[in-house]
Amino acid sequence: MQGGARRLWTGATLVTLAGDRDWGLVPDGALVVEGETLRWVGPAAALPEAFRQGVVEERDLGGALVTPGLIDCHTHLVYGGERSAEFELRLQGATYEEIARAGGGIRSTVAATRLAGEHALHVLAVQRARALMAEGLTTLEVKSGYGLSLAAEAKCLRVARKLGELGLTVRTTYLGAHALPPEFDGREGGQDDYVDAVCAWLPELKRQGLVDAVDAFCERIAFTPAQTRRVFEAARALGLPVKLHAEQLSDQGGAALAAEFGALSCDHLEYLSDAGVAAMARAGTVAVLLPGAFYFLRETKLPPIAALREAGVPIALATDHNPGSSPGLSLLLMLNMACTFFRMTPEEALRGLTVNAARALGLPDRGRLAAGQRADFCIWDAAHPRELAYWFGRNPLRQTVAGGRPRA
Ligand code: NIG
Ligand code: FE
C-alpha cells in the first residue's frame, strides 16, 4: 500500500463526471481513499479484494450522492468594506460604468482595503471562505486587485494564501491591472506608468510565492488590449499562466488576445464575439461564466453559450465574489442561476463547478471521481444530482471530504 491510511466509503451514488458527457452515475458505488488520493472508484460489487485489505475505516453512506468537491475558480475574496450604497445608486439608475468613472466602484474598495490591517482582512476572508465551504467548496481561487501597490497587493495575496489553513486548496491570482490607483490618476501617461509598475512588481510577488496566475481587467473603464498584452508578456517571461476579465461590458477583443497567450481562462464573456469563441476553442481556453455578476448588474446580454458549446469550449462557473458586482457566497445558487439565466443543463452546470473549474485553474488532478484524482468530494442528501441545481436557498450538503480528510 502506498500514500497513507486506506479508507473505504460504500453505499454511495457516485456522480463521477468521468467521461466527457453524462453524469457518470454509479449506483451502489465505492471509493477507496489513500492519504489525499482516490485509489479506486466504481461499483462496490466490482471492488477488487486487494483494495479491501488494510482498510482502517469503512463508512456506509446509505445511498447518499457523492460528487467531486466544488471549485470556485474566480473570486475577489480579500477586501475591506462593502458597497451597498453603490447598489442603491445602481437601483436608482446609475450604471456600474458610471460609478467607476466617477471614482467609486473598485477604487472605493481599494481605499478600504489599503486601510485595513492584514489580520482584519484575514478575519473577513475566513468568514467568506467558510460560507463557501458550507456548500462543499474544496478548492478556491482568490485574486488580488484591491491593493494596487506592491505592499498592498502582497498583503492581500498573503491573506489569500493563509486561507489554505482552513483545509482548502487555494490558488492565488495577481490582478494588479484591475483599476488605476489614485496616485497614478490625472497625470499624462499615468495609465501606462501604472502598467509598468504592475509588471515590475510581478517578479517580487512571484519570488515570495504569492502568485499562481496573472489576470487583468481589459475594458473601457480599466485597461486596453495593448496594456493587457504587456501584463501578459511580463507573466510569460516568468512562466506564469494568464487569465482575463474579458468582454464583460463591451467587446475589446480581449478573449482572442488571451488565447494568443494560451490563457487558462477568459471570464465573464457577455460581449464575446464569434472570433473570440473560435480563438478560445483553438487555444483550449476555458470560458468562466459568472451568473452572480450577470444577475447583480442586471445584465441582459447573455454570454454566447450555444456558440461556446458548439465550438467545444469548456464552460466553468464561479461566484466572482466581490463587493461591487457579485457580493454572493453561494456556489449552489450559481448552479441554479446558470440553468435559469444561461439555460445550461444541470449537468453542464455541475461540470462548471468541478472538472471545468479545475481546468480553468490548471489543476488536472481534481474535478472528477476517478482513481488517481485528489480525494476531494462532497456527500449530499439528494437522490439525483440535478437536485443540486434545482433547490435554491436550501443546502443539501451532508459532509465534505478534502484531501481525504472528512471535515468536522
Ligand atoms: O469580476 N470586473 C472587474 N472586477 C470585478 C468587479 C470588481 C468590483 O466591482 O469591485 C468583477 O466583476
Ligand atoms: Fe472578477
pLDDT of residue 384: 98
- Of 70, 23, 21, whose CA–CA distance to 317 is shortest? 70
Nearest Cα residue to atom 9 of ligand 1: 324
> How far is Cα 215 from Cα 222, in angstroms, rounded to an integer?
13
Q: Are strands 397-402 and 377-380 parallel, antiparallel or unpaired?
A: antiparallel
pLDDT of residue 1: 46
- Of 61, 78, 74, 101, whose CA–CA distance to 185 is shortest? 101
Instruction: Consult the annotation and say whether 76 binds a ligand.
Output: yes
Q: How far is the CA of 366 from the centre of ligand 1 (A)?
A: 27
Q: Pocket residues for ligand 1 (CB within 6 Å)?
A: 76, 105-106, 109, 217, 245, 248, 293, 320, 322-325
Nearest Cα residue to atom 3 of ligand 1: 217
Maximum separation of any 2 CA atoms in the chain, in Å: 73
Q: What's at 121, amino acid-wise?
A: L
pLDDT of residue 2: 56
Query: 184: which 3 cell numbers?
Result: 497614478
Enclosing H/E stretch for 9: strand 6-15
Distance (Å) of CA 72 to CA 18, 75, 76, 168, 332: 20, 7, 11, 11, 11
pLDDT below 50 — which residues of the chain?
A: 1
Tens-digit pLDDT profile for residues 157-182? 999 999 999 999 999 999 999 999 99
Counting Cα atoms < 13 Å in the Cβ hemisphere of 245 gives: 27
> How far is Cα 315 from Cα 333, in angstroms, rounded to an integer?
17
Q: How far is the CA of 320 from the centre of ligand 2 (A)?
A: 5
CB atoms within 10 A of CB 222: 21
- Of 210, 97, 115, 120, whose CA–CA distance to 161 is shortest? 210
pLDDT of residue 191: 96
Closest ligand 1 atom to residue 100 Cα is: 9
- Of 307, 292, 311, whose CA–CA distance to 248 is shortest? 292
Residue 239, sorted as left (phi over 0), alpha (psi -120 to 50) or beta, turns out to be: left
Helix segments in 39-187, DSSP class H: 49-52, 84-91, 96-101, 106-115, 118-133, 150-162
Beta-carbon contacts of 275 under 8 Å, excluding residues fewer than 6 positions away, are 253, 256
Domains contained in the chain, CATH given: 6-68+367-407 (2.30.40.10), 70-82+117-360 (3.20.20.140)
Its pTM surpasses 0.80: yes
> How far is Cα 78 from Cα 146, in angstroms, rounded to an integer?
8
Beta-carbon contacts of 105 under 8 Å, excluding residues fewer than 6 positions away, are 83, 86, 96, 99, 179, 221, 324
What secondary structure letter does DSSP report for 398? E
